[in-house]
Amino acid sequence: MSVRRTRKSEKKLWDEDYTKTRLKRSKNRAVILSTIVFFCFSVICVRLSYLMVVDHEKLSQRAERQYRRTKVLRPQRGVIWDRNMRELAVNVETDSLYAVPSQVNDVDELSFLLAPLIKTSAGGLSGKISARKNKEFIWLARKMDRETSFRVNKLKSRLKLSELGVLTETKRYYPKGRIAAHILGHTNIDNEGLAGIELEYDSYMKGKAKKVQLGRDARGYSLSNGIEDNIQGYSLLLTIDEGIQHIVEREIDIAVQKWEAEAAVVIMMDPKSGRILAIANRPTYDPNLPGKVSAAGRRNRAITDMYEPGSTFKAILASAAIDEGVVKRGEKFDVSDGYIKVPGGVIRDVHRHGILDFREVIQKSSNVGAVQIGNKLGKELYYEYMRKFGFGEKTGIDLPGETRGLLRRPENWSGRSLASMSIGQEIGVTPLQLLRAYSAIANGGKLMRPYVVSEIISSEGEVIKRFSPKMERRVISRYCSAIMRGILKTVVEEGGTARRAFIKGNPVAGKTGTAQMVDPETGGYSKNDYVSSFVGFVPADDPELALIVVVYKPRGARYGGVVAAPVFRSIIEDTLVYLNIPMEREENSVLLVSKTR
């Protein structure tokens, strides 16, 4: 029975159509595969539709970025020229060294090899790299000098140091070294202004970074379409004359060395326009190496340091007295006692005189006579004229760091203040403030604003901004100015205190000053430390140049007529030659000065 069933089953198995079965199965697989393909195709179509319709703008921008890139163009700093277009500050290309810390295998070995070349310690360099081990970029030495750059590149090539790289940067360079250092100032490692006109006009000279779109081909190569990477900030044309500046720098060096002075300041200015022709300070510095000197060496004393002007201030007193009519030119003053009593003590003359007229009080620099004039003028009027002459306020010069000086209001004066201020004490002025005041006396009574930049110029040569002379206000009348010029001329003539400022052929007008400095320990006036000064202008009757010389703590002499007046003469004599300004007097004829120094 069981045998029959088995045979029957076997018959059914072998009797089945195997070909049909295979076709059926293939058809099922084809259906499944078609379904999968259709589904995938549908997904792709839906995705493409989404990308083309919904995400089109985003993808277009991404494609654009693949073939175009934005580059930030860093501008070069503008050039600085003197008034004759001679370069005082320029840019030079230098190499800067960087490392890729993540690629440095042996930090200590690299630091050991590199540190002596870039003048740093191996330990410090190693610590700097190790602290940024995961970074892709780190500066090691910015703006190296040529010798250092050569040695670094030689080491890099010899040892095949791929973890080191060199980039070209621009560095600020002052080709004349110390010349006009306190006018120019200096920049930091990133060419940002830190002092002088580099700071004052930084926003003009540094320019603005510019973003440009550069095309790239399929291989990533730049398609610049002629775009220049080198853009430049605005340049400055100064009122400074390099030739005059050189004369001033030379003579101030001679004076400081001769008198072993602690410091000195010289400023030359066009009294009619306010243009600054030269400023020199000692101590000084090389703006290429500002970190090599102390802050004292970088300080522009011409505008930052106050001092008591002493007898040079008597010209301000005299101008006020004449302009107000409280004294007459021939008025007599009895100074025969040699001293005058004032609240709290007495004020004395250095040399005893008899009866002096008004002119002689200034010519011989009588303290006793000046106090008498001050009493006639009164503190309210005197204060008013000091303010009119610009004391107690900034001159407005386009240099940073200027101070206002010190001028107290009359209600804050002591009983002695009027007498003290009449001889240039109890008031703090800067050299520039005093020179500006004398320039007003010289030019007919107009107080001018001093300035050092005459034009701002684009890289294409277009004048972006031009600065012109500006009169702040009238201080004294033309009549008063003419009288004061005549009085100040006598100071340099026979019988005056400034015979050593005399220049043959060109009359000088000016005034000496010898002021005691305050002793910081006692709070009183020092018996050893003085400020010796001379301020004046030439030619006296039609001034072209105004000059102030201030020497701090000279040794061996202290009088302004001995220490400062000769410096004035030497500078003016050579400047007259340089500028071809003719003599006014030479046997009743006009001659052109000719001198070799």
The pLDDT, as a whole number, for residue 372 is 97
Helix residue spans in 160-241 (DSSP H): 181-184, 196-200, 202-205
- d(CA 492, CA 183) in angstroms, rounded, equals 31
**Closest-CA residue to 511 (of 591, 462, 441, 429):** 441
The answer to whether 444 and 478 are in contact (CB under 8 A) is yes
- C-alpha 69 chain-centroid distance: 37
Using DSSP's 3-state secondary structure scheme, residue 549 falls into strand
Q: Which residue's structure tokens are 């031009």?
A: 466
What stretches of 347-411 show up as alpha helix (H) in DSSP? 358-363, 367-377, 379-388
DSSP letters spanning 193-209? B-SHHHHHTHHHHS---
Q: Are residues 461 and 295 in contact, defined by beta-carbon separation less than 8 angstroms?
A: no
d(CA 283, CA 281): 6
* Among 397, 334, 341, residue whose Cα is nearest residue 360: 334
Q: What is the DSSP letter of 74?
A: P
Helices 478-492, 314-324: axis angle to 10 degrees equals: 140
Burial class of residue 506 (count of CB atoms within 10 Å of its CB; 0-12, 13-18, 19+): buried
Going 563 to 565 to 568 to 570, the CA torsion angle's sign is negative
Q: Which residues contact 407 (CB under 8 A, 6 or more apart)?
A: 383, 386, 387, 391, 392, 427, 428
Helix (H) or strand (E) holding 279: strand 276-282
Among 435, 442, 445, which residue's Cα sits nearest to residue 543? 442
- Cα radius of gyration (the chain): 40
Q: Parallel, antiparallel, or unpaired for β 80-81 and 87-99?
A: antiparallel
Cβ atoms of 512 and 484 within 8 Å: the answer is no
Rounded distance between C-alpha atoms, residue 201 and residue 467, angstroms: 13
**What are the φ and ψ backbone dihedral angles of 315, each rounded to 5 degrees?**
-70, -30
Classified by CATH at the fold level, domain 75-207 comes out as Penicillin-binding protein 2a (Domain 2) (3.90.1310)
| CA gap 134, 100 in Å, rounded | 9
Along the chain (597 residues), what's the average pLDDT of each consecutive run of 10 residues?
45 52 66 73 70 61 53 76 97 88 86 89 88 84 89 87 84 95 95 96 84 50 46 92 98 97 98 98 96 93 97 97 93 94 93 93 96 96 98 97 97 96 97 98 98 96 96 97 96 93 93 92 89 96 96 96 97 95 56 41
Q: What is the pLDDT of residue 44?
A: 75
State residue 11's pLDDT score: 45
**Nearest CA-CA partner of 81 in 178, 180, 170:** 180
Alpha carbon distance 81, 522 (integer Å): 47
Can you name the residues that pair with 512 across neighbouring β-strands?
A: 534
* Residues recognised as catalytic: 311
- Closest by Cα among 243, 82, 241 to 174: 82
- Cα–Cα distance list, 448 to 307, 435, 445 (Å): 22, 11, 9
Nearest to 365 by CA among 502, 514, 565: 514
Domain ranges within the chain, ordered by starting residue: 75-207, 242-290+298-579
Check if the beta carbon of residue 423 is closer than 8 Å to that of residue 368.
no
Sheet of 222-223: strand order equals 68-73, 210-216, 222-223
- What gap in Å lies between CA 80 and CA 198, rounded to an integer? 9
CATH 2.40.10.120 fits 242-290+298-579, yes or no: no
Close Cβ partners of 399 (under 8 Å, ≥ 6 residues apart): 183, 196, 197, 200, 300, 303, 452
Q: Report how far apart the first and last C-alpha atoms of the chain are (Å, whole number).
A: 148
Question: Which residues, at least 6 apart from 312, have a Cβ–Cβ distance to it below 8 Å?
Answer: 424, 434, 511, 512, 513, 533, 534, 535, 560
CA distance readout (Å), 422 to 337, 339, 370, 397, 440: 18, 14, 6, 27, 19
Whole-number pLDDT of residue 111 = 86
